[in-house]
Amino acid sequence: MKKKLLALAMTFVFLLTFVTPIQAAGQPLHARDDGSFRVLIVADTQDTDKPRKVMLDLLDAELDAADADLVVLLGDNIYGPHIGDDENRVRTAIDAVMDPIVERNLPFVVTFGNHDDEDCLSKEEQLEIYKNYPGCLNDNPDISGVGNTCLPLCEANEDEAKALLWFVDSGTYAQEAVGGYDYVKEDQLNWFREGVADYSTSAMPVSYVFQHIPVPQVFELLSPAKPFEKGAISGIYNPFSDWYKQHDDEISAGSFGETPCPPKIDGGEFSAWKECGVKAAFFGHDHTNDYVGTVEGIDFIATSGIGFYAYGNGDEHGARILVLHTDRPEEYETKMVYYKDLFDEPLSPFTLSKLGIETFRLIAGGIAAIIVFLAILVLIIRKIIISIKNRKNRDH
């Protein structure tokens, strides 16, 4: 009996000494002793239950390089449309992204994108899967969207919020009559306003927002351009008529590789940000955008896609590191870390790093359909010619 008690005591001492407890959901985040807090933002892993090895290798390398205190999955974490109606395939796709995060004992927050639940599991069901991994910090208040979460950031040994980190479900698609993408709803904005008020004491805390889909005000960083003008990008909704160029004087880093795809409806989110002391908002969704710009005093920051299943930007696939400071919460540093920064060997041409597997299949399918159509057309024409010749022969 004494030996068993001794063994249990030694096990308990080992756990206290050598195993670092992971951040628990609902608790404040705490900065390091020097007041810094490091976040790795990963956007658009967007793969299936058989993910590209290059994406997993890049995710591993990003996690090693970031030395992160928190990992943020910024939506389109899996690609629902190509996973289908098999629950096990959905779980396998999520496992592939989560395994390297869990292996490193890192706390994480997940936001959802427009492609996550285009399979057999709803966002609610997927959130329960994420919550089963150690380190999931997601809340899920009874408002629109799934997994909306606010985490206060505090000094190393204090519980007073120096900054608020907001993780918001920006929805999927708008109503068919409207078209385009969804927007953050009024009850979410009320939750945000009330949360800021709850944490406000002598001053309003600084807020940082993380969500998949950008807000319509992102177009204030762009101006209309002529079609095919140098440096211009075509619009997503009207690609033959809408072209844009970025305002270089308002972009402090990165660029627009494509026209952003915000909702067509302004739901009032940006106005709420201005009311409530938002310093910066971080977006995914547009895979080749990595801009850092400022709109009416609020920084808009895009993170390039890390996944290779859908389209991307070659060796500029990557993730974003964000460093916050509790002694000066209104200041931060951020940078993209790309494939080209982490790997010496170039991407294989078989990676299809710009098109992605999905687009390649669409193009290959279209070419195959055209070839089949032309072959049938040739056979029909040949048959008509033979028929005409036979008729002429009979007439003679």
pLDDT in tens, 242-263: 899 999 999 999 999 999 999 9
Distance CA 90, CA 120 (A): 8
Instruction: Let me know whether 194 and 55 are in one domain.
Output: yes
- The strand pairing partners of 166, in sequence order, are 150, 209
Cβ contact 51:98 at 8 Å: no
**Domain contains 15:** no
Confidence band, pLDDT 50/70/90 cuts, at residue 274: very high
How would you classify residue 267: left for phi > 0, otherwise alpha for psi between -120 and 50, otherwise beta? alpha
User: Considering the chain, what percentage of its residues have pLDDT values greater than 70?
Assistant: 91
Instruction: Let me know whether 386 and 312 are in one domain.
Output: no
**Domain contains 2:** no
Instruction: Let me know whether 44 and 144 are in one domain.
Output: yes
Distance CA 266, CA 346 (A): 42
Asked if the model's pLDDT at residue 12 lies above 70, the reply is no
Average pLDDT, the chain: 90
Instruction: Let me know whether 196 and 240 are in one domain.
Output: yes
In the predicted model, what is the mean pLDDT of residues 321-342? Answer: 97
Cβ contact 260:180 at 8 Å: no
- Tokens 């844009």 sit at which residue? 244
pTM of this structure? 0.88
Instruction: Let me know whether 309 and 382 are in one domain.
Output: no
**Domain contains 327:** yes
CA-CA distances (angstroms) from residue 126 to 46, 129, 165, 339? 14, 5, 22, 29
**Domain contains 12:** no
Instruction: Let me know whether 315 and 328 are in one domain.
Output: yes
Instruction: Let me know whether 90 and 104 are in one domain.
Output: yes
The CATH number for 74's domain is 3.60.21.10
Instruction: Let me know whether 360 and 348 are in one domain.
Output: no
Give Cβ neighbours of residue 319 (< 8 Å, ≥ 6 apart).
40, 41, 42, 43, 58, 59, 62, 66, 303, 304, 306, 336, 337
**Domain contains 74:** yes
**Domain contains 42:** yes
CA angle 311, 254, 292 (to 5 degrees): 110
Instruction: Let me know whether 254 and 118 are in one domain.
Output: yes
Asked if the model's pLDDT at residue 379 lies above 50, the reply is yes
pLDDT, residue 299, reads 98
386 lies in which domain range? Answer: 355-396
pLDDT in tens, 122-134: 999 999 999 999 9
Instruction: Let me know whether 184 and 41 are in one domain.
Output: yes
Number of domain units in the chain? 2
In the predicted model, what is the mean pLDDT of residues 57-69? Answer: 98
**Domain contains 11:** no
Instruction: Let me know whether 325 and 364 are in one domain.
Output: no
Instruction: Let me know whether 336 and 236 are in one domain.
Output: yes
